[in-house]
Chain A
Amino acid sequence: MPSGQSSFPRWGQFLLLFCGVGLLALISLGVGDVYISPAEVLAALTGGEQVDDSTKTIIINLRMPRILLALIVGAGLGTAGAGYQGMFRNPLADPFVIGASSGAAFGAAIAIVLMWGETPFGWGAVPVSAMAGALLAVGLVYGIASVGGRVPTVSLLLAGIAVSSIFSSMVALMMYLNEEQLARITGWLMGSFARANWDIFWPAAAIIVCCMLTLWYFSRGLDVLTFGEESAAALGFQMNQIRFIVIMLATLMTATSVAAGGIIGFIGLLAPHGARMLFGARHARVIPGSAFIGGALLLLADDVSRSIMDSRELPVGVICALMGSPFFLYLLKTRQYSLDAEAGG
């Protein structure tokens, strides 16, 4: 759909999407080992008498934090993807392109291998270490790519590939040398919301929402970048500032998402594409659009992961990749997202 030619107003599209996500969340509250009907879910949420206490507990204390966490992590990954794609002017960029993923995996693996326990502020050592690993990797990439006060985009991408490779090799080495922890590391690397609770949800939501709003506030800088860095500079924008702000915000969202749910790919790649198809290319719309779509996609994937097999959950990262890859191939085939055209000019 060419942007700007829709007869249906944009606010209407956003409202529909918002309602759709809300409906999906309501349905998701009923999905799981114990099926709960939408009427019972509504009764539990509104304090009705028709549901027993155990059902209320399942909904309020077990499923609600998990569903909200999946939504917020998906929104964070989607928004981070929109930020990275806009920043790198590359439709294939995603939250893990500059090393955040492998850094997080390294952080998590170290914490698992060294059997670090709890941290003072509620989160376990594994997510905190994963978050630190993601930030460390991106910090390294940024530092290596800086040349004389400038940070060229190509250098960032190349440094990202190299740093990712180093961290991935170290994770592989740790897995090889610590067979007894192999299952735990692998499980964590595949992503899951099985551990979700309110203590994980609130800090993750606070960080991700703050970053999303700030990134949205700076969306014009990403729009200007569509003409290239030189044109953006000629329009009065200071490129190094834009780069730093976007990368920091997107990385913080990625790191928080990884810390809260493990490593989950494809959402950051797919959500911005979906948002551009629905709302056009302006980042003021792509960013909230990516948040809604990313949240909905990840919630759907989590629903599938915990309902497709009796008595056990599948890793949500695997479901995302299984659902995401065909969709991405469909996009490549049907949309005019030819890399030649995107990179051309």
Chain B
Amino acid sequence: MLKADQLTCAYGEDPILDRLSVQLNPGEVLVLIGPNGAGKTTLMRALSRLLKPTSGKVLLGEEDIWKQKPREVAQQLALAVQQEHRDWALTVEEAVSLGRSPYKGWTGRMVTDDHDIVESSMQQMGISLLRDREITSLSGGEWRRMILARALAQQPEILLLDEPTSGLDLKYQFEILTLVRDLAHTQQLTVALTLHDLNQAALYGDRIALISHREIVAIGKPEEVLTPEIIGEAYEVEVHVLRHPEFQTPLIVPIGKRASTS
């Protein structure tokens, strides 16, 4: 269980999140949406112990995440940040193996179990055949799958993904989101991810949380959050909300910028 309780985060003086509370549940995909600069990435960083809140706390299990060691946190929670570097040409297998680091530290040797877990993670993400490829030569979709395989090798209970589809074409966007949703539903993983595409959020989110003006202004099932009024207020655009012809989820069609009320 991962829970933010009255969380306030700031870079310098200005708060980015103000007394925000949210709970993530096992077997569920929570999609965080919101305008640029709303604080989605800040929330991800705070939830994963990368950013210390100025007040409030993040509970991992029953305990404050800042009272747990980074390695203990990384054994329960995996994060894929928005922009990952690829500085050196590790092979895919070597890169995925680094997912075992929380259990091994700086010096521990990989044993048979670790190799089995790495193998199974690569298989789940369909990248076994790429094992000897250098990560610097991977395409966007292959790279994302490698990052997800590395996250799975951590054997986490919670998976946090910051804009996992950015920079990917439509095929890879759907591929990644389907993989993530399947992981949540079949392996009871707790998944939270940030997305900009509201229609994808509607399709893949079991719940959606809309962050705006430093707090969660709406949270619930897609049809509860994705209404013309709530979207219009947060994004300052006029939208029609239709029904997806195949899945019956909300289908957002933008009309134009909202007329200024001031």
Q: B-contacting residues of A (Cβ < 8 Å)?
A: 2-5, 86, 89-90, 217-221, 223-228, 230-231, 233-238, 242, 276, 280-282, 336, 341-345
- A233 pairs with B70, CB closer than 8 A: yes
22 A-B contact pairs sorted by A residue (CB < 8 Å)? A4-B93, A89-B85, A89-B87, A217-B107, A218-B106, A220-B107, A225-B87, A226-B87, A226-B95, A227-B86, A227-B98, A228-B81, A228-B84, A228-B85, A231-B80, A234-B48, A235-B99, A236-B75, A242-B106, A281-B88, A281-B89, A345-B85
Interface on B for A, CB 8 Å cutoff? 45, 48, 50, 69-75, 78-81, 83-91, 93-95, 98-99, 101-102, 104-107, 131-134, 136, 154
Q: CB < 8 Å: which of A219, A234, A280 contacts B78?
A: A234
A344 contacts across to B, CB distance below 8 A? 85-86
- Assess whether A237 is in contact with B86, with CB atoms less than 8 Å apart: no
Q: Which one of B75, B86, B132 contacts A226 once the chains associate, using CB atoms below 8 Å?
A: B86
Given contacts A236-B102, A280-B91, contact A345 B84 (CB under 8 A): yes
B104 lies within 8 A of A220 (CB) = yes
Q: Which 7 interchain pairs have the tightest Cβ spacing?
A: A236-B74, A236-B71, A281-B88, A345-B85, A236-B102, A228-B85, A234-B79
How far, in Å, is B169 (CB) from chain A's closest CB?
18
**Nearest CB to that of B90 among chain A residues?**
A281
Whether the Cβ atoms of B101 and A224 lie closer than 8 Å is yes
Asked if B74 and A5 sit within 8 Å, CB to CB, the answer is no
Q: Which residues of A contact B106 (CB under 8 A)?
A: 217-221, 237, 242
State whether B91 touches A4 (Cβ < 8 A): yes
Q: Are B74 and A226 in contact (CB under 8 A)?
A: no
- Most chain A CB neighbours (cut-off 10 Å) among B83, B85, B95, B133: B85
A4 to B80, CA, bound (A): 25
With A236-B102, A280-B89, A345-B87 given, can you name 8 additional A-B contacts, CB distance below 8 Å? A4-B93, A4-B134, A226-B87, A227-B98, A236-B73, A281-B88, A282-B94, A344-B86
Cα distance A67–B71 in the bound complex, in angstroms:
44
In the complex, chain A residues whose CB is within 8 Å of the CB of B131: 4
For the complex, give the distance between the alpha carbons of A276 and B134 in Å. Answer: 12
- Interchain nearest-CB distance for B97 vs A (Å): 9
Min CB distance, A97 to chain B, in Å?
Answer: 15
Cα distance, A223 to B99, chains bound together (Å): 11
The distance from the CB of A2 to the nearest CB of chain B, in whole angstroms, is: 6
Write the chain B residue with the least CB distance to A89. B87
Q: Are A223 and B90 in contact (CB under 8 A)?
A: yes
Min Cβ gap B106→A in Å is 5
Asked if A5 meets B132 with Cβ closer than 8 Å, knowing A226-B88, A345-B85, the reply is yes
Say whether B83 contacts A345, CB under 8 Å: yes
CA distance A332 to B8 in the complex (A): 47
Contact call B89/A233, Cβ cutoff below 8 A: no
- Tell me the minimal C-beta distance from B91 to chain A in angstroms: 4
Is there contact, CB below 8 Å, between A237 and B70?
Answer: yes
Rounded to whole angstroms, the CA-CA distance of A5 and B131 in the bound complex is 10
A234: chain B residues within 8 A (beta carbon)? 48, 50, 74, 78-79, 81
Beta-carbon contact of B74 and A231 below 8 Å: no
Which chain B residues lie closer than 8 Å to A336 at the CB level? 136
Q: Which of A227, A233, A238, A281 contacts B84 (CB 8 A)?
A: A227
Complex-state Cα separation, A341 to B86, whole angstroms: 8
Closest Cβ–Cβ distance, residue A190 to chain B (whole Å) = 32
Q: Is the CB of A226 within 8 A of B90?
A: yes
Q: Are A341 and B136 within 8 A (Cβ)?
A: yes
Q: Is the pair B102, A282 in contact by a Cβ cutoff of 8 Å?
A: no
Chain B nearest Cβ from A194, distance in angstroms: 37
Complexed CA–CA distance, A343 and B221 (Å) = 40
Taking the nearest CB of chain A, how far is it from the CB of B122, in angstroms? Answer: 14
Q: Out of A218, A228, A235, which one reaches B102, CB within 8 Å?
A: A235
Which chain B residues lie closer than 8 Å to A223 at the CB level?
A: 88, 90, 94, 98
Identity of the chain A residue whose Cβ is nearest the Cβ of B84 in the assembled complex:
A227
Q: State in angstroms the CA–CA spacing of A237 and B88 once bound together.
A: 18
Please report the C-alpha to C-alpha distance between residue A5 and residue B132 in the assembled complex, in whole angstroms.
Answer: 6
- A272's nearest neighbour on chain B, judged by CB, is B88
Partner of B70, one of A219, A228, A238, A341: A238
How distant is B14 from chain A, measured CB to nearest CB, in Å?
17
Provided the pairs A89-B87, A217-B107, A342-B87 are in contact, do residues A230 and B102 lie with their beta carbons within 8 angstroms? no
CA gap between A225 and B214 in the complex, in Å: 31
Option from A3, A218, A224, A238 in Cβ contact (under 8 Å) with B134: A3
A3 to B131, CA, bound (A): 11
Q: How far is the CB of A8 from chain B (nearest CB, A)?
A: 14
| Known A224-B98, A233-B70, A235-B154: A280·B104 in contact at CB below 8 Å | no
Q: Which of B72, B86, B101 contacts A220 (CB 8 A)?
A: B101
Complexed CA–CA distance, A191 and B131 (Å): 44
Q: How distant is the Cα of A244 from the Cα of B169 in the complex, in angstroms?
A: 40
Whole-angstrom CA separation of A3 from B95 in the bound complex: 12
B81 surroundings in chain A (CB, below 8 A): 228, 230-231, 234
Shortest Cβ distance from A238 into B: residue: B70
Partner of B107, one of A3, A218, A228, A236: A218
Instruction: Give CA–CA (A280, B95) in the complex, Å.
Output: 12
B13 to chain A, nearest CB (A): 14
Q: How far is the CA of A89 from the CA of B86 in the complex (A)?
A: 9
Q: A5 — which chain B residues lie within 8 A by C-beta? A: 132
Docked Cα-Cα span, A225 to B104, in Å, equals 15
